[in-house]
Amino acid sequence: MLAHIDYPLRVMKHGDYVPSFDHYMDRVEQVLRACIDHGYALELNAAGLGGWMKKVGPPQDILYEYRRMGGERISIGSDSHALDNVGRGFDDCVKNARDAGFTSVTVFRNRKPEQVALG
Strands 42-45 and 104-109: unpaired
HSE (side-chain half, CA atoms, 13 Å) at 97: 28
Task: Say what percent of the chain tops pLDDT 70.
Answer: 99
Q: Name which of 37, 38, 8 is nearest 25 in CA terms.
A: 8
pLDDT at residue 52 is higher than 70: no
ω into 59 cis (within 30 of 0): no
pLDDT at residue 53 is higher than 80: no
pLDDT at residue 80 is higher than 80: no
Burial class (CB in 10 A: 0-12, 13-18, 19+), 1: middle
Q: Work out the widest C-alpha separation in the chain, in whole angstroms.
A: 45
Phi/psi of residue 2, nearest 5 degrees? -110, 110
Burial class (CB in 10 A: 0-12, 13-18, 19+), 37: exposed
